[in-house]
């Protein structure tokens, strides 16, 4: 059965998943890259995201690898594709990650403005969905071919899926970082009322990992 998952989403101690003032120079906002030290250091990140060798093994790497297992499609908010706002002005912009993004499967971008699909190297094709989260989820299910769907953020996208009860599992990593401002992950979301519980907790030197799913799931 296809699961809808959030994986390797890192939160600061004060509840932010990105810093303020996201820009081309600061894709994760000011200070946002500090959140992801645990992931950047892993062999999985080096291989899956950067396409290089090296990186640390161990618990953080095993958890990062779980996040890429059995993924058949991604759903991303527009901010996860790029800093452009409003109607598309530059069709040359093909996302933060260059010619070979780290998704390697169909990726559905939530937007209010239509755009033709973009086929990238490495198996990623970006599709731009204007009909909201349920349309994106239906398209992603078809594309996933029975595998799972990974919701990649940002905060507003995850909140929309949570409020509709559409996320089955979440891996949240809490980093020992204070950002002070930015995008709050659970703003306006009551996980308890929605039936989510923490089923597993694993601490490492660089992060504490929480695995959250619906009670009884």
Task: Determine phi and psi for 70, rounding to 5 degrees.
Answer: 65, 30
Q: Is residue 72 predicted with pLDDT exceeding 80?
A: yes
Which residues, other chains included, contact 123 with Cβ-Cβ below 8 Å and sequence gap of 6+?
103, 104, 105
CB atoms within 10 A of CB 94: 17
The sign of the CA dihedral 163, 164, 165, 167 is negative
| Average pLDDT, integer, range 78-85 | 83
Asked if the peptide bond before residue 212 counts as cis, ω within 30 degrees of 0, the response is no
| pLDDT confidence bin for 217, thresholds 50/70/90 | low
pTM confidence score: 0.93
Q: Where are the domains of the chain?
A: 4-17+30-84+100-214
Q: What is the CATH number of domain 4-17+30-84+100-214?
A: 3.40.430.10
Asked if residues 114 and 133 have their Cβ atoms less than 8 Å apart, the reply is no
pLDDT (tens digit per residue) in 86-123: 888 877 778 878 888 989 999 999 999 999 999 999 99
**Cα–Cα distance measured from residue 11 to residue 87, given in angstroms and rounded to the nearest whole number:** 30
pLDDT (tens digit per residue) in 25-44: 788 888 889 999 999 989 99
Say what the pLDDT of residue 160 is: 95
**Cα–Cα distance measured from residue 198 to residue 84, given in angstroms and rounded to the nearest whole number:** 36
**Cα–Cα distance measured from residue 7 to residue 80, given in angstroms and rounded to the nearest whole number:** 14
pLDDT (tens digit per residue) in 146-199: 999 999 988 999 999 999 999 999 999 999 999 999 999 998 899 999 999 999
Q: Is 51 left (phi over 0), alpha (psi -120 to 50) or beta?
A: left
**Cα–Cα distance measured from residue 25 to residue 23, given in angstroms and rounded to the nearest whole number:** 5
Say what the pLDDT of residue 154 is: 86
Say what the pLDDT of residue 94 is: 83
pLDDT (tens digit per residue) in 43-64: 998 988 877 888 899 999 999 9
């Amino acid at each position: 059965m296809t699961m809808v998952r959030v994986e390797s989403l890192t939160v600061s101690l004060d509840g932010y998943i990105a810093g303020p003032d996201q820009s081309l120079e600061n894709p994760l906002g000011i200070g946002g890259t500090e959140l992801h030290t645990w992931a950047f250091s892993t062999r999985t990140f080096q291989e899956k995201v950067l396409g290089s060798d090296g990186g640390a093994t161990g618990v953080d790497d095993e958890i990062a690898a779980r996040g890429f297992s059995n993924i058949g499609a991604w759903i991303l908010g527009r901010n996860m594709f790029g800093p452009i706002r409003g109607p598309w002005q530059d069709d040359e912009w093909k996302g933060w990650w260059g010619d070979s993004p780290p998704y390697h499967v169909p990726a559905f971008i939530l937007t209010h403005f239509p755009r033709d699909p973009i086929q990238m190297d490495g198996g990623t094709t970006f599709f731009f969905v204007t009909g909201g989260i349920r349309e994106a989820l239906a398209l992603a299910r078809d594309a996933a071919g029975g595998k799972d769907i990974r919701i990649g953020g940002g905060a507003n996208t995850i909140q929309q899926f949570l409020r509709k009860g559409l996320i089955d599992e979440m891996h949240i990593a809490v980093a020992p970082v204070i950002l002070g401002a930015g995008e709050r992950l659970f703003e306006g979301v009551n996980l308890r009322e929605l039936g989510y519980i923490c089923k597993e907790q694993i601490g490492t030197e660089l992060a504490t990992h929480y695995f959250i799913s619906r009670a009884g799931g």
